[in-house]
Amino acid sequence: MSEPVYHVPVLLQEVIDGLNIRPQGAYVDCTFGGGGHSKEILKKLGEQGRLIVFDQDADARINVPDDQRVHFMPHNFRHMQRFLRLHKIEAVDGILADLGVSSHQFDEADRGFSTRFDGDLDMRMDKRQDLTAFTVVSTYSEQQLHKLFEQYGEVTNAKTLARTIVQVRTTVSLKTIANFKQALHSVVKGNPNRYFAQVFQALRIEVNDELGALKDLLLQTPAVLKTGGRVAIITFHSLEDRLVKNFFKKGSFDEEEDANPFGQNTPANPFTVITKKPVVPSDKELRLNPRSRSAKLRIAEKR
């Protein structure tokens, strides 16, 4: 039997075209995974080019090619600038982040990401961290659970779900996926697969602090990019896409400047937005890779 594919890169050609790769440049792939995007970036880089790749999941290391231009950082990309400095790299020509989990993570039962299998309710991309999905459902308050299911999962009955979790966890263990689904079957609304997919998405985003990491990364991009350098981000969730869109538009997360009618003291936006609308997968890509369906690519260039 053939080996399962680690991950099929999404919007591959669109990313490579959009990064406008300089052959002698330095690039960062923040989300190395199966290395599909990195492989194409390397094809465009000359011998002097450099590719720094991050992945907080130790499993990704097996995909790192034997290539002296590649430097693997087994860390969270929220520390990008620190690790670049450590390697004496002050500025780069391009940054890519293809957010979320890989097919490998999703398809490995014991990682706990998928509702299709049983295993520990884990969901950590980085196994060095302590917080797991089990910790979230067994220690968070009802309000915290309500908020995260509503915001990150858009779960229709988030309040009921949160209340039920807090009730059942006093008598039932929620340690495994089977335990969790069994204990909550009475609150499921609509199609159970879809319902639990939304619930799991919310837990995954919380466990890995996915929005916090994205914010930290975005905040570092203006300082790390050279003039004319590009940042390309692929998101899979509307909250992520909104963060990227607004950050590229303003160069900050400040809400206040909108309230200032004269624009005084508003720092100049360091970016030119390259993609006025997000780039989405073609019909062909959707047919070949249904997992690409909610992908949105946005690109900006440092002024």
> Least CB distance from residue 268 to ligand SAM, whole Å?
28
Scanning 33-41, 64-72, 82-90, 248-256 for contacts with ligand SAM by CB under 6 A, the matching segment is 33-41
Does 292 help bind ligand SAM (rule: CB under 6 A)? Answer: no
Main-chain dihedrals φ then ψ at residue 300, nearest 5 degrees: -135, 155
- 54 sits near ligand SAM (criterion: CB under 6 A): yes
H or E element: which one contains 95? strand 92-98
In the sheet with 92-98, reading across from the earlier edge strand, the strands are: 70-73, 50-54, 26-29, 92-98, 225-235, 296-302, 271-273
Residue labelled with tokens 């959009």:
18
Q: Strand 26-29 to strand 296-302: parallel, antiparallel, or no bridges (unpaired)?
A: unpaired
Say whether residue 50 binds ligand SAM (CB under 6 A). Answer: no
102 binds ligand SAM (CB under 6 A): yes
Please check whether residue 78 is in contact with residue 218, taking contact to mean a CB–CB distance below 8 angstroms: no
Q: Is 114 in the site for ligand SAM (CB under 6 A)?
A: no
| One of 45, 51, 60, 162 touching ligand SAM (CB under 6 A) | 60
**Least distance from C-beta 80 to ligand SAM, angstroms?**
9
Longest dimension (CA), the chain: 66
Q: Pick from 27, 72, 77, 196: which binds ligand SAM (CB under 6 A)? A: 77
Nearest Cα to Cα of residue 38 among 59, 67, 58: 67
CB of 105 to ligand SAM, least distance (A): 6
Residue 55 in the binding site for ligand SAM (CB under 6 A): yes
Inter-residue contact 300 to 17 (CB < 8 Å): no
Q: Among 22, 37, 111, 204, which residue sits at the site for ligand SAM (rule: CB under 6 A)?
A: 37
The Cα–Cα gap between 114 and 200 comes to 8
Of 38 and 179, the one with the shorter C-beta distance to ligand SAM is 38
Question: In terms of Cα–Cα distance, which of 130, 132, 114, 128 is closest to 56?
Answer: 128
Q: Output the smallest distance, CB 178 to ligand SAM, in A.
A: 25
Residue from 14, 18, 22, 36 that binds ligand SAM (CB under 6 A)? 36
Structure tokens at 6: 């680690």
Q: Is 221 a residue that touches ligand SAM (CB under 6 A)?
A: no
- Is 33 a binding residue for ligand SAM by CB under 6 A? The answer is yes
Binding site for ligand SAM (CB under 6 A): 7, 9, 31, 33-37, 54-57, 60, 76-78, 98, 100-102, 125, 213
